[in-house]
A and B are shown apart, each in its own frame.
Chain A
Amino acid sequence: DTAVSQTPKYLVTQMGNDKSIKCEQNLGHDTMYWYKQDSKKFLKIMFSYNNKELIINETVPNRFSPKSPDKAHLNLHINSLELGDSAVYFCASSQPGQGTYEQYFGPGTRLTVT
């Protein structure tokens, strides 16, 4: 039973297109995150939502828009895709109020922009 799932796992698209990545967690966590892992393997946080509310918004272009319809889902919509958006995007969830900060990650979505 997958704890954090993402769809699709692979996404190949052309520059200028708009695409979405979906994330769902069944852990009952209040907080969800989006990370970008670029070609240098560095994991960089993009957004965090706590109970459907945006709490972290790092320096990310406006073309990226997260949406949280409920606390179990956090989707990422990307407009006007650029070559530099090619990366692996990870969704994660956690329950930080319990005194620990471990995050549970999804399997990742490999986005390739051509």
Chain B
Amino acid sequence: DQQVKQNSPSLSVQEGRISILNCDYTNSMFDYFLWYKKYPAEGPTFLISISSIKDKNEDGRFTVFLNKSAKHLSLHIVPSQPGDSAVYFCAASAWNTNAGKSTFGDGTTLTVKP
């Protein structure tokens, strides 16, 4: 049972436009959500996170939106740059269980075309 899903395996956008990556979860106990970015032959790196008490968190060009009732979150990248081309993983945690264990989605490969 995959508790965190990223239904789009890939996304291609033009440089300067908005990239929207989506993530759905099923476990209502999740209360902290994270996005990671991964380049080939490297480990994932933390990008941005959001707690379940918020519905939006912004950091520069990156904004994460959380819709708890729909169990859905999205990552917006504006404007997209070629250097943003990478695999993006969504992850979810439940703070009071398993000391920080995160469940990951299967990733979306973003390609930003110059």
User: A residues bordering B, Cβ < 8 Å?
Assistant: 4, 31, 35, 40-45, 48, 50, 55-56, 90, 92, 94, 96, 100-108
- Residue contacts A-B, CB under 8 angstroms, 26 given: A41-B87, A42-B104, A42-B106, A42-B107, A43-B106, A44-B104, A45-B103, A45-B104, A48-B99, A48-B100, A48-B101, A55-B98, A55-B99, A56-B99, A90-B43, A101-B34, A101-B93, A102-B49, A103-B44, A103-B102, A104-B46, A105-B36, A105-B45, A107-B41, A108-B42, A108-B43
How far is it, in angstroms, between the C-alpha of A92 and the C-alpha of B101 when the chains are bound?
Answer: 11
Question: Interface size bucket, B side?
Answer: 20 to 34
CB contacts under 8 Å to A, within B30-44, are 32, 34, 36, 41-44
Contact between B41 and A101, CB atoms less than 8 A apart: no
